[in-house]
Structure 1
Amino acid sequence: MQLLEETTGRHEFQLAQAAVRLPGGSLLRPGQNCWRVDRADRASILIDGAPYFACLEAALRRAQRSILIIGWDFDGSIRLRPDVSAEESPPLGPLLRSLVEAKPDLEIRVLVWSIAVVHAPGAPGPLIFGAEWQDHPRLQVKLDTHHPLYAAHHQKIVCIDDALAFVGGMDLTVERWDTHRHACDDPFRLKDDGNIYEPVHDLQMAVDGEAARSVAEVGYGRWKLATGEELSPAPPERATPWPEDLGAEFVNMPVAIARTYPAWGDQPATQEAAALTQDALSAARKSIYIEAQYMTSPRIGDVLEQRLADPDGPEIVVIQTHESHGWAEELVMGTNRDRLIRRLRKCDHYDRLRVYYPVIPNGAGGECQVLIHSKLIIVDDVFLRIGSSNLNNRSMGLDSECDLAIEATTEEECRTIAFLRHRLLAEHLETQPEIFAEVLEGAGGSVIRAIDQLNTRERGLRVFGAMADEGPDAPAPGTSLLDPLEPFEPLSLFRRRRTDI
């Protein structure tokens, strides 16, 4: 069975590679590696929790008819702007209650993965038993139980009036808010017990126009699967919920929506996000830039290994989380991360691979890590993907995911995508995007050489030990159980046995 899966994976990779190399063809192919490509009047990238949460609060306050929140976790006790007074920015739950009370046409729905009550960091009590702020007929909080055993509902979506959508890696829960500084001792980054949680880096994309309406359809479809209730799109509003302070980085831009759903009940399997990721990486010619909480998938390893084997292939720079939390995460994600790094290092004959983790000085002669929670891919200044999908097995076929992608067709759009990468690396290296761009030009366009020149401060990027040490490079034992590609059905063995009789 494993040999069959590996052979099938290689065949799929070869087909994808052939498809994306068609001369003059677009990478985005609705029905194959994405669900739809719809136009956004505006699209913008929000880096880190503080900017996203502030924009989200402004947008929520502008809602007129509908707010739909879908997530892996949710905690109504968080404040979207903890760096201002509670009067100016109240906790999220009471904020939603105040909005629905003030606006008689507004309906608010929150859908949360059911196992969040035992697995996620948010408070489980309000999700199970309700809270005072939830006691309103036009404010519903539901748990999503429509998923296979051990699967997660992992999408992170907020839709407002079907006119604005946020999609990315950030749930509206505890331990997500942070600024670009990622200071080890930021007093606003507090847990419920008063201790400071570790710095965290993440990304979210905002879109409006037809792209936002299609993201809302994804949300409504998920709501129906989870609750049985069919929702109708909200009528267009004259006033847009787009925050006044949020600029548009892309204008009149086609945006692809790629999803992952496991086969479950009447729901067929959907693996658009995995196909899009493999197609984009296969198409790379000059550079691949990845930010990932987890990168452990052998399929991703197959693609990157082939790109490294090409003498004229791209540079590959990966920014990942260093320290895993919990024994299961360390056993599977941490161990398999290191094994995949070793595998790729061994085939990096042209010195075009770097895998880093970011650190911040703690003021006491040491340093603390920055938790990378983003799920980003940038290819050749042409392709940008942001969403909820990690580069592990379960995100490719077991968990529900939603990603947004942009493919540049003009020089200005290419510059915008490149500048986003400059902003991200400048943040990790404690410099300015313009300085990174200048050093990159002087380095002949080599992202790796530009990083080497600027990576000289206490805050910066550290190379993973697996880039140099010896050790196994195949997936660890138990991976198929703890990081499966597809749903596990205990009764399937009996069904097969019965069929064979």
Structure 2
Amino acid sequence: MTMMNVHFFENTIGQTGNGAVSQPARAQAGPILQPDRNCWRVIPADKASVLVDGASYFTHLEAALRRAERSILIIGWDFDGSIRLRPDADPEDSPPLGPLLCSLVEERPELEVRILVWSIAVVHAPGAPGPLIFGAEWQEHPRLHLRLDKHHPLYAAHHQKIVTIDDNLAFVGGMDLTVERWDTRDHACDDPHRVRQDGTAYDPVHDVQMAVSGPAARSVSELAYERWKIATGEELSLSQPAKSDLWPSELTPQFTNAPVAIARTYPAWGEHKAAQEAMALNIDALAAAKKSIYIEAQYMTAPCIGDVLEQHLANPDGPEIIIIQTHESHGWAEQRVMGTNRDRLIRRLRKADRYDRLRAYYPVVPTKDGECQVLIHSKLIIVDDDFLRVGSSNMNNRSIGLDTECDLAIEACNDEIRKTIAHLRNDLLAEHLATSVDSFNSAVSEGGGSLIAAIERLNTCDRRLRTFDAMFDEGPMEPALGTGLLDPLEPFEPLWFLKRMSE
């Protein structure tokens, strides 16, 4: 990166009044993953897989929960015990999640279940608030504990989506165990199982989660236990390694004995220091791209992300950049900041795209009368065939230093991992284009290795990728007025003037 971008990165997520630490973007040479800089640690996973869309994640999660022996820890932005993890199965085989957890505790005398939910979920998230505030019948067991996480700054969100089982299997990504998250890879507008409890349908939704086992899972448990301690005061210890293999029998591992990085975002709050590893990892990974960048993002508005991508687009030898985002924003604040700033960033990147290497899309699926949009809820980056990041952090300001986040990343250290990363990227694009991964691979080969050429060749079905209007229209490119208030970089300090007077 140029010095302009290094300074921007430092000024944006760097030294702040609440103790956040700045780090310039990494040099291009050497591995991307650097513990204590852009990740907490890098540790091997015995097995790892990326689970695409809710039906896959929830099915394998249910199988893993049923194997738990000692501990289940669920940490989320939201939680709703009324959901069924397999709504397409018989209710006797797949009961609501809350009663399922209660039955597991009743069957196994050594099993403890803990659930930690962002406190403001009771008024902000889509799940039912009553059971979170007042409890529910399924919570009435001494070894099943549900707590609200109140330890966060004003306007900050606890945004991690983590499940750990017996400290030997962990799931991390973009999906909470709540309503309006389940969907299949078909994303059919008329899927009879994608409905709310009142029977009304919700829009198709696309997301990803990563499963890891072994030492990587134990590290995720360690991170989750630390969050539980911060929120509740209770200190938990890692259990002995599991005697049985908890990996779901129907889930084929995509990676074996692969190094996995864990990257965090914590705001500085009280006695706890800030961690800004996740955004540093995003910046470093994107800066390292040579051939391609593939992004799936619910929100991508952060100017520091734009800096890196803008530089690549101005470089005659830079990578192709494919961005798939949510199109429709819900609620005034989301439309005012996330939707508006998304379009402004797209315009900025389009202006820098001197060599026609940028595409910004949103996916649609056909209906009887036209089409409906697919909500992109995933937070995924794939760089070349070398780097994969899945997690909870969006590429907006608040995910830099305000919210609490957790991401996992894999950097290729051999050809087998490179092939797996490339296959995953192409498989995701094939899903959005309603084609097979083999057909997409063939189109890439026939297009001289260009992902964009393959997309444009195959983007002809009713289920397709549509280009954002901001790729064509004129308009402002700078962040919208009010961004600092509605999408802040760091915690608010209402009494900041008193602090300054005492310095």
TM, length-normalised to structure 1? 0.96
SS at match of 1:291: strand
Distance in 1 separating the partners of 2:54 and 2:456: 28
1:446 aligned to 2:453?
no
Distance in 2 separating the partners of 1:326 and 1:114: 20
Residue deviations 1:290-335, cap 9 Å, x none? 0000000001011111111111000000000000000110000000
Identify the match of residue 482 of structure 2 among 474, 478, 481.
Answer: 478
2:340 paired residue number: 335
> By how many angstroms is 1:498 displaced?
4.1
SS at match of 1:62: coil
> By how many angstroms is 1:193 displaced?
2.1
Change (3 A) 1:159 1:10: closer
Residue deviations 1:201-240, cap 9 Å, x none? 0000000010000000110000000000000111122112
2:60 paired residue number: 55
1:324 aligned to 2:326?
no
Distance in 2 separating the partners of 1:169 and 1:8: 27
Identify the match of residue 255 of structure 1 among 260, 276, 300.
Answer: 260
Q: Is there any run of 5+ residues in structure 1 with no aligned partner, and where?
A: none
1:138 paired residue number: 143
Question: Which deviates the most, 490-499 or 56-65?
Answer: 490-499
Identify the match of residue 212 of structure 1 among 204, 209, 217.
Answer: 217
Residue deviations 1:32-66, cap 9 Å, x none? 10000000010001000001000000000000000
Change (3 A) 1:7 1:261: closer
1:461 paired residue number: 465
TM, length-normalised to structure 2? 0.96
1:352 aligned to 2:357?
yes
Same amino acid, percent of matched pairs: 69
Distance in 2 separating the partners of 1:140 and 1:90: 19
| Aligned pairs, number | 492
> Are 2:443 and 2:454, in contact at CA under 8 Å, matched by a contact in 1?
yes
> Are 1:164 and 1:212, in contact at CA under 8 Å, matched by a contact in 2?
yes
2:279 paired residue number: 274
> Are 2:389 and 2:410, in contact at CA under 8 Å, matched by a contact in 1?
yes
Identify the match of residue 34 of structure 2 among 24, 29, 32.
Answer: 29
> Are 2:13 and 2:489, in contact at CA under 8 Å, matched by a contact in 1?
no
> Are 1:16 and 1:279, in contact at CA under 8 Å, matched by a contact in 2?
no
Task: Give the partner amino acid of 2:338.
Answer: M
> Are 1:9 and 1:299, in contact at CA under 8 Å, matched by a contact in 2?
no
Residue deviations 1:429-463, cap 9 Å, x none? 00000110111011111111100000001100000
2:289 paired residue number: 284
> Are 2:32 and 2:411, in contact at CA under 8 Å, matched by a contact in 1?
yes
1:379 aligned to 2:383?
yes
1:307 paired residue number: 312
> By how many angstroms is 1:26 displaced?
1.3
Structure 2 counterparts to residues 23-172 of structure 1, below 5 A: 25-172=30-177
Task: Give the partner amino acid of 1:295.
Answer: M
Residue deviations 1:148-167, cap 9 Å, x none? 00000000000000000000
Residue deviations 1:84-130, cap 9 Å, x none? 11101000000000000000000000000000000000000000000
Distance in 2 separating the partners of 1:30 and 1:4: 19
1:398 paired residue number: 402
> Are 1:375 and 1:389, in contact at CA under 8 Å, matched by a contact in 2?
yes
Task: Give the partner amino acid of 2:486.
Answer: L
1:423 paired residue number: 427
Change (3 A) 1:67 1:242: same
1:8 paired residue number: 10
Task: Give the partner amino acid of 2:384.
Answer: D
> By how many angstroms is 1:493 displaced?
1.8
Q: Is there any run of 5+ residues in structure 2 with no aligned partner, and where?
A: 15-21
2:418 paired residue number: 414
> By how many angstroms is 1:7 displaced?
7.4
SS at match of 2:175: coil
Distance in 2 separating the partners of 1:357 and 1:493: 44
> By how many angstroms is 1:241 displaced?
1.4
> Are 2:7 and 2:24, in contact at CA under 8 Å, matched by a contact in 1?
no
Distance in 1 separating the partners of 2:183 and 2:6: 44
Change (3 A) 1:86 1:11: closer
1:179 paired residue number: 184
Task: Give the partner amino acid of 1:391.
Answer: M
> Are 1:16 and 1:282, in contact at CA under 8 Å, matched by a contact in 2?
no
SS at match of 1:159: strand
2:19 paired residue number: none
Distance in 1 separating the partners of 2:196 and 2:372: 17
